[in-house]
């Protein structure tokens, strides 16, 4: 068989594997708690608080959607016209048009062109979150974090571009196979590396001092059968008032992380409740499942790009001869942008079901639905979340159940409904 036929076979096998993993690991059967309970939970919030949260979200909405539209427009403009290919050529020219310079510098230039256009929208968003008291960050701190984010993205993106186009350069007929394996391996590697390498760039983590809360969190993890390396406190207060906690890492890198804002805004029992939710992700292997699905998805994406490369009309629009050459970077990014928008609602749907299972785990582990409900109410209040967002927006973008759905689930649990 030709390489294209092997690619089709590999694509089919990986797609079946992806569907099977998702079918066996995602809790598809979970439905939201009764609407009557959700309405009752909404009544626990003062009307003026709900109005303020909705006004906050309404002010953020134009910038968010304009940023998405602008990102899509730039991606299509660069990817479906020769403009993107010319930018890549421009980046490689000082280095003798070497293919590696085109791949890395050209790719970063194409990405930078899109990101710079959205910086004013990000600044607009910052003014809003500061005005509503969510952000505590100065413009200097905001700019520093933006620079750090762009630098990290440039390093990771540069390595990915160099690896991908090295494969396409030296294995022009079979690059899809090596590229798919490399993309999957990179996803797995980053699952281990990001928590211990990238997270400290944006936050300072210190061990939680010995005391009753730390002891209780460690004992909670032991009782749950989830070994953790440490309990850390993140200095989130230097940029936000938002509260959060999470369990990050796999195996030897797993640790419980609590925002310092959580320690000042929430009661110890509420910290235990939200930590129990995060331990649920580890207990049910959600991080591992996400890594496997991500690896399979990355491999499928590489093969799909290879198969897409036979579409002569698309190549002609981009002004390139092959989708495996560096000049096609903008076309690749355009395809990735469109694919991300199309698959986003499906990913959000899966995420909501997984988060609902973790909520159930927290209720089972603590046996304290009252504290769980209080914690959800506090999260929504401090983070200025719309407790009951518009249905269309919730279905399109929400990665978690709504605040009233989570509170209603606690009420159903208290009645003995599982």
Taking Cα atoms as reference points, which of 122, 121, 138 lies closest to residue 130?
Answer: 138
Helix (H) / strand (E) element for 381: namely helix 369-382
| Cα gap 21→32, rounded to integer Å | 23
DSSP class of residue 239 equals T
Taking Cα atoms as reference points, which of 165, 27, 149 lies closest to residue 106?
Answer: 165
Taking Cα atoms as reference points, which of 139, 164, 153 lies closest to residue 239?
Answer: 139
| Cα gap 244→12, rounded to integer Å | 40
Helices (H), 132-211: 139-170, 175-197, 199-202
* Active site (catalytic) residues: 278, 359
| Cα gap 407→157, rounded to integer Å | 40
Helices (H), 309-368: 312-318, 329-366
Helix (H, G, I), strand (E, B) or coil at 417: coil
Q: Is 394 exposed, middle or buried (0-12, 13-18, 19+ CB in 10 A)?
A: middle
| Cα gap 384→380, rounded to integer Å | 6
At a CB cut-off of 8 Å and minimum separation 6, what does 247 contact? 226, 228, 254, 255, 256, 257, 275, 278, 279, 281, 282, 287
Pairing of strands 245-248, 205-207: unpaired
Residue 245 and residue 275 in contact, taking contact as beta carbons nearer than 8 Å: yes
Residue 32 and residue 408 in contact, taking contact as beta carbons nearer than 8 Å: yes
The binding site for Zn(2+) comprises 277, 281, 355
Pairing of strands 231-234, 255-259: parallel
The binding site comprises 277, 281, 355
Residue 315 and residue 29 in contact, taking contact as beta carbons nearer than 8 Å: no
């Amino acid at each position: 068989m030709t390489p294209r036929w092997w690619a089709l076979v590999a694509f089919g096998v990986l797609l079946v594997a992806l569907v099977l993993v998702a079918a066996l690991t995602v809790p598809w059967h979970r439905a939201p708690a009764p609407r009557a309970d959700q309405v009752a939970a909404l009544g626990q919030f003062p009307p003026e608080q709900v109005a303020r949260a909705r006004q906050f979200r309404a002010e953020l909405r134009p910038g968010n959607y304009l940023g998405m539209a602008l990102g899509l427009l730039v991606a299509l403009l660069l990817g479906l016209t020769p403009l993107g290919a010319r930018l890549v050529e421009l980046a490689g020219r000082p280095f003798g048009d070497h293919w590696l310079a085109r791949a890395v510098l050209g790719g970063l230039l194409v990405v930078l062109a899109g990101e710079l256009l959205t910086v004013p929208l990000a600044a607009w968003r910052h003014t809003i979150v500061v005005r509503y008291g969510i952000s505590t960050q100065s413009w200097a701190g905001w700019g520093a974090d933006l620079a750090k984010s762009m630098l990290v993205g440039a390093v990771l993106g540069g390595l990915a571009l160099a690896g991908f186009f090295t494969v396409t350069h030296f294995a022009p007929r079979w690059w899809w196979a090596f590229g798919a394996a490399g993309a999957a391996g990179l996803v797995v590697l980053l699952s281990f590396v990001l928590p211990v390498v990238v997270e400290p760039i944006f936050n300072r983590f210190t061990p939680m001092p010995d005391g009753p809360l730390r002891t209780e969190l460690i004992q909670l993890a032991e009782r749950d059968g989830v070994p953790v390396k440490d309990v850390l406190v993140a200095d989130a207060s230097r940029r936000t008032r938002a509260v959060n906690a999470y369990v990050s890492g796999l195996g030897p890198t797993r640790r419980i992380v609590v925002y310092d804002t959580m320690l000042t805004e929430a009661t110890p029992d509420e910290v235990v409740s939200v930590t129990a939710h995060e331990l649920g992700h580890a207990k049910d292997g959600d991080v591992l499942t996400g890594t496997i699905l991500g690896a399979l998805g990355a491999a499928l994406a590489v093969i799909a790009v290879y198969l897409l490369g036979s579409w002569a009309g698309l190549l002609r629009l981009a002004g390139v001869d092959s989708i495996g050459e560096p000049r096609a970077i903008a076309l690749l990014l355009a395809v990735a942008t469109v694919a991300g928008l199309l698959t986003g609602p499906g990913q959000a749907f899966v995420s909501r079901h997984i988060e609902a299972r973790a909520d159930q785990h927290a209720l089972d582990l603590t046996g304290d639905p009252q504290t769980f409900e209080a914690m959800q109410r506090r999260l929504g209040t401090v983070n200025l979340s719309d407790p009951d967002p518009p249905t269309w927006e919730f279905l399109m973008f929400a990665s978690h159940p709504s605040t009233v759905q989570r509170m209603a689930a606690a009420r159903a649990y208290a009645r003995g409904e599982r």
